[in-house]
Amino acid sequence: MFIDTHAHLNFKDFDLDYIQVIERAKKAGVEKVIIPSSNLKTSLKAIEIAEEIDGVFTAVGLHPIHVKDEDFNETEFLRLAKNKKVVAIGEIGLDYYYDKSNLLSQKEVFAKSLRLAQVVSKPVIVHSREAGMDILPLLLAESPMPRGVMHCFQEDWQFAQTILEMGFYLSFTGLITFSKNQKTVEVIKKTPLERILIETDCPYMTPEPYRGKRNEPAYIVEVARKIAEIKKIPLEKVATQTSKNAIELFKLDK
């Protein structure tokens, strides 16, 4: 079985067919899917889908690229975070790629989100784009440090080591199936399988051989297949261990 730990089925790309998308995923061996959110609206949508379909869970939160146009409603996010289908806070973090004009606001919202995770005792799904050195001190400032995963990991091994030492998991997307990705290949080789999660990040990051199409959870097998190839281990071992990791981190067996 596979678990897609990051699928944006709450985005408009899936408005018309998310039920069929999930059915295809189950036929492909995907037993569980986690839907992360980017703002309050998508958090509400994610919960709606998760409550409708067995095996679907969600995370709620305010993505850093939306900090500039939406206030972090602590009261409402706390209410949503207590829902039994919500297994994490996310995706949250810092993004310096698109806009560096609101770095302080991003950091403030990230810190508030980390504290929310502590209040509800749930892990975090962290987005970090060109912001790794600022992410670390904010995580280290929390006591106790939150559990969580670095989503769509693309940093180097030195950064990966630090994150792993902090107890975090690393999650990989279809980007690893592209040929020009040697830095990530090195990280996958060196990271224990017990600390790896897999995700599609759909509708983005479509893996080979489906590149150019809308991504969806059924394609998660290609991410697992690439990890198996890089580590020279059976696909079944990757599927089993990454699913076990996801169940452990997000408490999906409760």
- Is there a binding annotation on residue 66? no
Report whether pLDDT(228) > 90.
Answer: yes
CATH pick for 2-250 out of 1.20.910.10, 3.20.20.140, 2.40.30.10, 3.40.50.300: 3.20.20.140
65 pLDDT tier (thresholds 50, 70, 90): very high
Query: What are the pLDDT digits (tens) for 110-154?
Result: 999 999 999 999 999 999 998 888 999 999 998 788 999 999 999
Confidence (pLDDT) at 254: 64
Share of the chain above pLDDT 70, in %: 100
Q: What is the mean pLDDT of residues 61-84?
A: 96
Report whether pLDDT(105) > 80.
Answer: yes
Report whether pLDDT(90) > 90.
Answer: yes
- Is there a binding annotation on residue 151? yes
- Is there a binding annotation on residue 91? yes
**Rg from Cα positions in the chain:** 17
pTM over 0.85: yes
Report whether pLDDT(234) > 80.
Answer: yes
Confidence (pLDDT) at 100: 81
